[in-house]
Amino acid sequence: MKPRITVLTLGVADLERSLRFYRDGLGFATEGIVGKEFEHGAVAFFKLHGGLTLALWPRASLSHDSGLPLSPPSSTEFSLGHNVRSRSEVDAVMKQAEAAGAVIVKHARDTFWGGYAGYFKDPDGHLWEVAWNPQLLPDD
């Protein structure tokens, strides 16, 4: 198996609210919600840099499709890392996320590994780390 992730799906409680957060608040490009004509089909896709697609899908639909029962969400199961090119960009992204309705969990600060990072939660509690890591600068 080649280690390749092409779609990252976040289970959300309110698809419209999450769409507004990511599209209007963070500026992620999308065609909006598609698949409404199918039971458990409504989903929003966002094309991200590097070929990754972020999908927002109602938690109930993900539960139905996987066959797993709904369980309480947890913000500490994983985090999404958004690596940027500078400290000032970390601050700008954190400010944009907060203005969009994110909860700042940890304000950006110097890290023990020589970078600068902070954390926010989206409206469903998904944890995002915004980081400047001088050893892992993005290619753009």
Q: Would you list the domain boundaries of the chain?
A: 7-65, 79-132
Distance, in Å, from the CA atom of 57 to the CA atom of 64, rounded to the nearest integer, reads: 11
**CATH superfamily membership of 79-132:** 2,3-Dihydroxybiphenyl 1,2-Dioxygenase, domain 1 (3.10.180.10)
Residue 90, pLDDT score? 98
Does this chain's domain 7-65 share its CATH topology with 79-132? yes
**CATH superfamily membership of 7-65:** 2,3-Dihydroxybiphenyl 1,2-Dioxygenase, domain 1 (3.10.180.10)
> Which sign does the torsion angle of CA 55, 61, 63, 65 carry?
negative
Residue 34, pLDDT score? 97
DSSP-based three-state secondary structure for 133 = coil
pTM here is 0.92
Residue 138, pLDDT score? 79
H/E element holding 94?
A: helix 87-100
H/E element holding 11?
A: strand 7-12
Residue 4, pLDDT score? 87
Instruction: Walk along the chain (140 residues) in steps of 10 and give the mean pLDDT of each run.
Output: 92 98 97 95 94 96 96 93 96 98 98 97 98 86
Beta-bridge partners for 44:
33, 56
* Residues whose CB falls within 8 Å of the CB of residue 101, separated by 6 or more in sequence, listed in order: 21, 25, 123
